[in-house]
Structure 1
Amino acid sequence: MSFQPLFRRFHEAIQLKRFDENAELIEKRDRILKRLRDNLKGPGNVKVTFEPFNQGSYAMGTGIKPLNKDYDIDVGIELNLDYRSHDPVEVKGWVYKAIEGHTKAIQWRRPCITVYYQQEGEPVYHVDLAIMAKDPYTGGLRLAIGKENSAQSQREWQNDDRKGFMTAVENRFSTSEDAAQFRRVIRYLKRWKDKHFSSEGHAAPTGLSLTVAAYEWFQPMADATAAGKEYNDLIATMALVQKIHQRFGQAWDSSLSRDVPRLSLLFPKAPHDDVFARMTNQQMIEFHKRLGILGGWLEEGRKTRSISPLRQAFGEDFPEQ
């Protein structure tokens, strides 16, 4: 029995198409962009222009349907201004003021401004606006970092090459079939994460951190057949999970008076920060343990040819037969 048809059906069940293929997401984004174009002004009531670009999982083709129904849309706002002449929090304030009142809930966060769309009091979409400006020397982008009342030391125009990362993901594999399996496996790990971790705080690894891990360590896997080869998503997922699990090092935790497992992985483009840095040691212990459990479920499915452990790993969207 080959599990590959079941994995393909599972992928169909959880997959979100790319941003430009989803009319409803485009409509939500465009309403916000129109609001910004009409209202975004700087000092002296001077109009500020910008160029938007899609980013995140929708742009990279790694998005999944969220279990909590809260769709997360990422949009970069590249402002046409010299960032060196303006405080990043001041600039984020222009954006906040331009869209204030567009929905009932707009949150000022350290890396972005988030616009929530709600239905019957529950969030159904939220759009993260990353406020950026081009560096006139390097041509790269700078991301406005800081909350509304952040101290000066907590404000910065951070080097940010998420565009470069999106291009790197797009070009990670030379064949479309290898690239498609790469994206499928990222989606499987994201669904496992959503199924087995709390969505509150930083208890779970982020979708971005799992994508970076796959970018670094994923290898395509296929079985030879009479027709040529058949991709094997079970083995490819097992291999990546094992690789991530093996990459954990040890970090001293003074509160526990012992070493704990900890994973560190630098974003391959600017700002080259650790994509797992915000997880506490206790959260890392849980992440390490659950990766081990996931590996066990995948191995049990492979050995016994049973679907049950795969449904334990990925939930009810994984087909029963």
Structure 2
Amino acid sequence: MYNCSNDVLAHHDEKVTLPTKEQDEMRERRDANRKRLKKGLDKQDKPAPLEHRSQGSYAMKTMVQHSQKDYDIDDGVYFDKEDLVGDRGAYLSALDARKMVRDALNDGPFNNAPECRRNCVRVYYNAGYHVDVPVYRRITTEGFIKNHHYELASSEWKRSDARDVTKWFSDENRDQSPDTTNGRQLRRVVRQIKKFARSRPSWSGQILSGFGITKLVTECYKPDAAREDRALHDTMQAMRNRLNGSLVVGHPVTPGETITKGNDDATARFLRERLSEALVDLAPLFESDCTRAKALKCWDKVFKTDFFSLRESKKTQDASPGARGFLSAGLAIDEGKQAAEAVRKEGGGRYG
């Protein structure tokens, strides 16, 4: 397979992972939202939250750049069940709890007022950002020791805690990645495949969710400490093969629950088809006469960009025999050193 490892790493660092400026802007909006909620709850004489916890792709650090800055931050708010009671002493319904949070957040300056959604309260910002605020209640059971579990205000109160998902992914990333730099390789591969899934506006709404992609990557990930491009290609191939066997994607922490719908989920099928096309686009990389220019065009086609080909006009390793690797009898044989740079240390950033 022609070696474009450094190019794939550069694509991740420059075009996929969020720049520090955008990370800072989102963190500022998240923190401002928390202050707005506290102020609104105090003003309406409503109970104070136990805590706030970021969750979803923001907490897992798998968000990717979007040309329209269509970013969503999930920031859960947690209350004690005993505090969530109405005027007559009955516990608040899931809908009433979401309405309480929505009303507290609606302080007036928004062009679009915060709204109750099925699993959260959504706050819109003009820059394209929105903050989703899932509402949880903590339930305490008495015994020899006190135990707690959490329920999400969905269509009804439903046992759930997204912090479990964050921990699940953190553990998978730590345990499966062959490196410890730049967010670790599994996380980088998740970001790249999520970027691929968002590379065409026409795919929006048709392709599997970022959460579903993240789960599939953890199932199918093919680590390669020396070759970022091969890890990405082989993981995409393994995902396509996995979806050929089943379009069902299970929830990582909730037994019996699935991310997909039914045995023939349309979004999972769409992802499988697009992965198959991408693998065809990358097939020339395995030809013995593949050139650097041809290889870079293959990656351009996959991500619908000119980023890779533009690197050809810069100072490249095209003249170096060490840049070229071929597949022979199922093994990659490098003519020079295997990889000039196994893993970059720049990029990645922090989201907390």
TM-score range, shorter chain: 0.7 to 0.9
Instruction: Give the one of 272, 284, 309 matched to 1:288.
Output: 272
Question: In structure 1, how many angstroms separate the alpha carbons of the residues matched to 2:306 and 2:69?
Answer: 15
Residue by residue, what CA displacement relative to the aligned partner does 1:227-273 show, whole Å, maximum 9, x if unpaired? xxx2x1222122222222222358xxxxxxxxxxx611111113652
CA 1:40–1:298 in structure 2 vs 1: closer, same or farther (change >3 Å)?
farther
2:152–2:161 contact (8 Å) kept in structure 1: no
| Further displaced range: 92-101 or 272-281 | 272-281
Once the two structures are aligned, what percentage of the paired residues are identical?
24
Q: Structure 2 CA distance, aligned partners of 1:132 and 1:279?
A: 30
Cα separation, partners in 2 of 1:199 and 1:23, compared to 1, 3 Å = same
1:173-188 paired onto structure 2 within 5 Å: 173-174=174-175, 175-177=179-181, 180-188=184-192
Would the aligned equivalents of 1:7 and 1:233 in 2 still touch at CA under 8 Å?
yes
Matched, 1:88 2:85: no
Contact 1:220/1:236 (<8 A) preserved:
yes
Structure 2 letter corresponding to 1:27: E
Higher relative contact order (CA 8 A, sep 6+): 2
How far residue 67 of structure 1 moved from its aligned partner, in angstroms, is 2.7
Map of 2:117 onto structure 1: 109
Tell me how far apart the structure 1 counterparts of residues 268 and 220 of structure 2 sit (CA, whole Å): 19
Query: Number of paired residues?
Result: 286
How much has 1:199 moved relative to structure 2? Answer: 6.2
Root-mean-square deviation over aligned CA pairs: 2.9
Q: Which moved more, 1:190-199 or 1:288-297?
A: 190-199
Tell me, in whole angstroms, the C-alpha distance in 1 between the residues paired with 2:121 and 2:209. 18
1:311 to 281, 284, 300: 300
Q: Deviation of residue 176 (structure 1)?
A: 1.6
- Matched residue, 1:247: 242
CA shift in 2, pair 1:109/1:314, >3 Å:
same
Comparing 124-133 and 104-113, the one that deviates more? 104-113
1:204 and 2:207 correspond = yes
- Pair 1:125-2:133 in alignment: no
Contact 2:72 2:132 in 1 (8 A): yes
* 55-64 vs 186-195, which moves further: 55-64
CA distance in structure 2 between the partners assigned to 1:271 and 1:36 by the alignment? 33
Give the Cα separation in 1 of the matches to 2:122 and 2:253.
24
Whole-Å separation in 1 of the counterparts to 2:77 and 2:256: 21
Counterpart contact for 1:159–1:271, Cα < 8 Å: no
1:66 CA displacement:
1.2
Structure 2 residue 225 is the aligned partner of structure 1 residue 217: no
For 1:73 and 1:199, the matched residues in 2 are separated by 21
User: Does the C-alpha gap of structure 1 residues 266 and 191 become closer, same or farther in structure 2, counting only changes over 3 Å?
Assistant: same
Distance 1:26 1:281 in 2: 34
- Distance, in Å, in 1 between the alignment partners of 2:306 and 2:56 is 24
CA offset at residue 68 of structure 1?
2.4
Which one has a larger percent strand, Structure 1 or Structure 2? 1
Indicate the residue corresponding to 1:32 in structure 2: 33
* 2:251 counterpart residue number: 267
Shift of 1:297: 2.0
2:199 aligns with 195
- SS of the residue 1:312 aligns to: helix
Cα distance change on mapping 1:144 and 1:217 into 2, 3 Å: same
> Offset of 1:59 from its aligned partner?
1.6
Once the two structures are superposed, residues 9-46 of structure 1 have per-residue CA deviations (whole angstroms, 9 ceiling, x without a partner) of: 10111212689x9321121111111111011269x944
Q: Give the structure 1 partner of residue 140 of structure 2.
A: 136
Alignment partners' CA distance in 1, 2:149 and 2:203? 32
Q: Distance in 1 between matches of 2:201 and 2:286?
A: 24
**1:15 counterpart = 2:17:** yes
Does 2:4 correspond to 1:3? yes
Q: Deviation at 1:170? A: 1.4
Shift of the alpha carbon at 1:107? 2.9
The alpha-carbon deviation at position 291 of structure 1 amounts to: 1.5
Alignment of 1:37-76 (within 5 A): 37-40=38-41, 45-76=45-76
CA spacing shift, 1:128–1:203, aligned 2, 3 Å: same
Give the Å deviation of 1:162.
2.0
Q: Secondary structure at the match of 2:125?
A: strand
**Aligned to 1:54, what secondary structure does the other structure show?**
strand
Partners of 1:271 and 1:113 in 2: CA distance: 26
TM-score, with length taken from structure 2: 0.73
8 Å contact from structure 1 (residues 132, 141) kept in 2 = yes
Q: Output the amino acid matched with 2:130.
A: H
By how many angstroms is 1:217 displaced?
2.0
Give secondary structure in 2 for the equivalent of 1:309. Answer: helix
Shift of 1:160: 1.6
Q: Is residue 170 from structure 1 mapped to residue 170 from structure 2 by the alignment?
A: yes
> Rg larger in 1 or in 2?
2
Letter aligned with residue 103 of structure 1: F
Q: Say which SS state the counterpart of residue 176 (structure 1) adopts.
A: coil
SS in 2 for 1:287: helix
Cα offset, 1:62, TM superposition:
1.2
Structure 2: which 5+ residue stretches go unaligned?
A: 85-89, 142-146, 312-352
The range that moved more, 103-112 or 206-215, is: 103-112
